[in-house]
Structure 1
């Protein structure tokens, strides 16, 4: 595959971030395009600097990723795949350093509490960094000999650091779900198990949400996620984000969506995509 034919995937963070790991898992031949913000990821695709966008939407420990559900409907892009990344934390340092040498580590603020037990057992102090992969890059460029970084082992490989301990997270189920997005929607049935994601706004009538959800129950459609968020600074304009199992052409899903549409002011399908094989193994 030539460089010209390789897709480019934009993600938030530095090379070696968990978002970068998601890109490698989903499209190992793609060219990674690191961006500073989530908005920057979407902008990179809109402006032609990337072909696809990889965005985290939820984590089994910390819940949904802030602002993502607001950005998705406004992005003009569509979900074409999902990817799950098990958050494995590695302690890394410059080559030649041993675990006994490490007295202090840096990592993203969210990552530090996830390795609290390991750090306490080894008497290692910590401080937050803006980005774990970025901290790894800075350490590789130079730093105190007793300092390490907590990040993905991918960051160690990219920046030439040595992994002194891996899998040091306190919880063995911490997983982040990512969505791979593209400008054009693909509704073809690409797998036996499909997912459909959509956003909607219910009509301002009594029990509208209850009635709208009834169609999924009566038709036996499994809704794996339903979240609400306000739009336009109004307490009355509430939109909902939903994931369901199935394809819009499946008769039960089609009937449920038709019933939902009757009780909504707006219904937009964000993506129809294969269910990731790891989905079944994620604690729910």
Structure 2
């Protein structure tokens, strides 16, 4: 029997790898160098699902994802939240006083400024948090350290010098699971969240008038973000996230009214809300 695969961006030990292992423990994971490679792996059938970070409580929406989602042909079938935890790690036997430089992704460096400043370390940008750990292990330099998820220390044989070094304890990333099939591998009875892509011709910067219809129908309107279409200023695309099911009458009416203000509406996914949402309210 062929093992099922879930693709993610990053190297083994990355946060995307952690959340994939946590929620799909029986699946094989497929690390990919870029988000484009993740989408391509699912589109080609090399992987059945993709685990993609979409929002972070500190950094905001993950860059570039909104460009790939609308044209990917994939559906959002689930969401998962991960409390982000970073560790300072170095070669075995190294003490923190020996460290001169610290390597990590630019966002991780920005989210761990306190420990960097406290020890007078020089930050060095790497392409990936887990990749930084791999690079430190390969270099074997006792003056270099990495800021990476704790799983990376186990994978690359590094010692953890400090745990939970992120500046904010609310640092959380929301991930979505993408599939070529709607509602695949979910097992839930009644979905209660979905993402909608809305496109309308309009000058840049004007608010989407129709988005208010979602609020008027007593649906929770989590967020709506706008983007230029193909770099032009003649059309704007919106990604809206709302609570509810498209078959529920109030939300169905709201979506119907949106057709008067748009040229295209696509429901990108219908999926159960992660329990984290209720716990954090």
TM-score by shorter chain over 0.5: yes
User: What CA distance in whole angstroms lies between the structure 2 residues aligned with 1:230 and 1:261?
Assistant: 19
Preserved contact between residue 189 and residue 247 of structure 1 (Cα < 8 Å): no
Report the counterpart of residue 276 of structure 1 in structure 2: 274
2:201–2:234 contact (8 Å) kept in structure 1 = no
CA distance in structure 1 between the aligned counterparts of 2:244 and 2:154, rounded to whole angstroms: 38
Q: Select which of 224, 243, 246 maps to 2:244.
A: 246
TM-score (norm 1): 0.90
CA contact (8 A) 1:197 1:271 kept: yes
> For 1:68 and 1:219, how far apart are their aligned partners in 2?
28
1:127-176 per-position Cα deviation (integer Å, ceiling 9, x unaligned): 11222211211222342123211000111122222212111111111111
Per the TM alignment, residue 282 of structure 1 is displaced from its structure 2 partner at its CA by 4.9
After superposition, the C-alpha distances for 1:218-241 in whole angstroms (9 at most, x for unaligned) are 210111010111112321111111
Is the CA contact 1:9–1:31 (under 8 Å) kept in the aligned structure 2? yes
Q: 2:262: which partner in 1? A: 264
For residue 262 of structure 1, report the CA deviation from its aligned partner. Answer: 3.2
Tell me the SS of whatever aligns to 2:161.
strand
Partner SS, residue 213 of structure 1: helix
| Matched residue SS, 2:88 | strand
2:41 equivalent to 1:68: no
Q: Which runs of 5 or more residues in structure 2 are unaligned? A: none
Matched residue, 1:181:
178
TM-score scaled by structure 2?
A: 0.91
| Pairwise CA distance, 1:251 | 2.0
Answer yes or no: is the 8 Å Cα contact 2:12–2:152 preserved in 1. yes
Pairing 1:209–2:188 present: no
Give the length in aligned residue pairs.
Answer: 278
Give the gaps of 5 or more residues in structure 1.
none
* Contact 1:223/1:244 (<8 A) preserved: yes
In structure 1, how many angstroms separate the alpha carbons of the residues matched to 2:159 and 2:227? 43
Structure 2 partner of 1:87: 84
Give matches, 1:24-173, under 5 Å: 24-173=21-170
**RMSD over equivalenced CA pairs, Å:** 2.2
